[in-house]
Structure 1
């Protein structure tokens, strides 16, 4: 249902009672957030994140599914949607980085990180966790918003894994690495964007050839020729383009691209302090290097706001769809997920992803999506390492009969 139709239903009284309550509740939450933060930037940041979560849930878009279909079924539809997403966000980020400042008047740099042995290992580990568990970081937040129980141990252990990663940071950061590098550091930014778009085009054409040779046909992602009265756009393509636009908007508003995994050690350190655990975190290298980051309040912390916003955006879609159904439709059978093995695997996968994401300077969002958008080499290098990890995770899953 379009936004226009939703508002029309609201004003004509055709929305269900629970849907009306949801709208009012969301407005109250946004009002409370603005009152607590006293910042329009925080409010807009949260709204953008809500939209991201709604897109992930409403259009059934996910990275782990994309890679799984590519490896197991040799279908490239979802990965091709990601290529379109990367192409659009590259152009938007490139323009912002070189012609504009953030809404707060700060220069826009993006995520440009080192490439080292630890980042390759981290991306590999993250890929293993993506397929061993229930999904990646954004997928886990989406599933938490869908009220899927196994997202709870996965998300918690991501925090634990990320915290362990920064605890051991002095060890793995000593491994060989090259300094942060971006394409626009060597050539004019327009040339840098054009070169990366060419790389994406080569990958896209290769995916088409791979799927056609493997399955004899290629699934349609975009059909400009009219089908009846309108052109055909696959929902995953709409999701990818929407996420690209929202990431660029978030970049301009907050000064920082979309990231998730960097919040895990932040939450982990604060949990250690809150629970008064016997861990001397004050002397960790991570704490020494990020004093302002750790001292900031969650209500004004960009990554914290976006992470909660994605979760609540997905939850809003779940509750909206459920509240619009009849009681008969709501009485669906629920599969039991209480088996200890499912909880164990989800926990292990979450730990691996949290550890790997921090080592790799980001997950599929911060390193891959926002890293490539920023023109950073580490974003491009993350992809093959994570793909190998996805393959290993799927092999391990089959070997263990999960």
Structure 2
């Protein structure tokens, strides 16, 4: 190549990259505008919030499964401390909002029962197998991660199946829904978050007891977006229901009779099955997370150019099974790291704390399973 040709090619590359980035921004804005036009302004805002979640999680390289793994394997508490900080920030806004608007806003409330505890434990294990919880699987798929892309559709199928059988599982026994409310509830929640953060800090390795700056930024961004989600949708940030709804719509389109499921035949679920996904808040934020993660990955040079890992066949089979298990167990547990842990605690539901304990215990098993099935990189 001549010097002139080399200079011309070098000059063209930044312009091509700039055009691609402009197209990403324009595409995102157009998608939000189209949803607002055809479904309504509130639904357009929900897609925008979902885009923000995806961009924050992928842009800051932040999540839930990875920080738990870092704490267990390397005693690095920074990621979990950032998660607890974000939950506390949301709680400071959510508690007074829920108290002031009881008929308009609702919390992520669920009972504590045998199925919930078991589901959370199994979910904690499965998310370590694929290194992605509910939001993590969406973000991983959006950013082009092969394991995330493979696990996502099976996560949706598992969520649909778990919801189909949910009432049978809850019939095994559960306590009434227990919640913390008002100023006293907020004080107790913040004190509990501080106590748990202190325990993780003490358990952390002496040189790792800090929160990286990007995690602090991520915590603030996620908290702001979660508060916006609560205000605009009237409900906390969630993931799992939307995935199950996608699979349920697919099953119904293929002629499946869902009347045998008390969950999917219930008036609220039946209404959503017949409505557009563009009017389902959880689906819109899920779509946004996938698209937001895709946008950030494509923004980076070579962000989507991820080679397929040289995993053995059993690893890919394990990713499929883990995806199904993630979906099924998260319905039994009334949510994933987002809907149960993050939003549950932030809106005062005691099941969020029980979920956290059970899922974190399950993560220890999941880390061992991930290595056994060959999903650890070869060295």
Q: Same fold (TM over 0.5)?
A: yes
Q: What per-residue deviation string (whole Å, max 9, x for no partner) do you get for residues 258-310 of structure 1?
A: 1111123211211112233xx43222111222323333321111011111011
Counterpart in the other structure of 1:217: 207
**Equivalent pairs, count:** 359
> Are the equivalent residues in 2 in contact too, given 1:144–1:151 (CA < 8 A)?
yes
Counterpart in the other structure of 1:22: 24
Aligned counterpart in structure 2 of residue 178 of structure 1, from 137, 156, 175: 175
> Are the equivalent residues in 1 in contact too, given 2:54–2:292 (CA < 8 A)?
yes
Per the TM alignment, residue 237 of structure 1 is displaced from its structure 2 partner at its CA by 1.4
1:31 aligns with 2:8: no
Question: In 1, distance between residues paired with 2:277 and 2:303?
Answer: 35
Counterpart in the other structure of 1:229: none
Per the TM alignment, residue 141 of structure 1 is displaced from its structure 2 partner at its CA by 0.9
Structure 2: runs of 5+ lacking an equivalent: 1-14
Change beyond 3 A, Cα 1:293–1:240? same
TM-score (norm 2): 0.89
Q: Secondary structure, in 3 states, of the residue corresponding to 1:262? A: helix
Per the TM alignment, residue 131 of structure 1 is displaced from its structure 2 partner at its CA by 0.6
Q: Secondary structure, in 3 states, of the residue corresponding to 1:217? A: helix
Counterpart in the other structure of 1:50: 51
> Are the equivalent residues in 2 in contact too, given 1:118–1:360 (CA < 8 A)?
yes
Change beyond 3 A, Cα 1:93–1:265? same
Per the TM alignment, residue 156 of structure 1 is displaced from its structure 2 partner at its CA by 0.9
Change beyond 3 A, Cα 1:14–1:210? same
Q: What per-residue deviation string (whole Å, max 9, x for no partner) do you get for residues 13-46 of structure 1?
A: 9981111222222222222222221x11001111
The more displaced of 66-75 and 336-345 is: 336-345
Counterpart in the other structure of 2:8: none
Counterpart in the other structure of 1:393: 366
1:314 aligns with 2:293: yes
Q: What per-residue deviation string (whole Å, max 9, x for no partner) do you get for residues 328-348 of structure 1?
A: x67977244575333211111
Counterpart in the other structure of 2:150: 153
Indicate the RMSD between aligned Cα atoms, in angstroms. 2.1
TM-score (norm 1): 0.84
> Are the equivalent residues in 1 in contact too, given 2:201–2:209 (CA < 8 A)?
no
Counterpart in the other structure of 1:224: none
Change beyond 3 A, Cα 1:390–1:166? same
Question: In 2, distance between residues paired with 1:318 and 1:398?
Answer: 27
Question: In 1, distance between residues paired with 2:225 and 2:303?
Answer: 32
Counterpart in the other structure of 1:227: none
Question: In 2, distance between residues paired with 1:260 and 1:55?
Answer: 16
Structure 1: runs of 5+ lacking an equivalent: 1-12, 222-232, 323-328
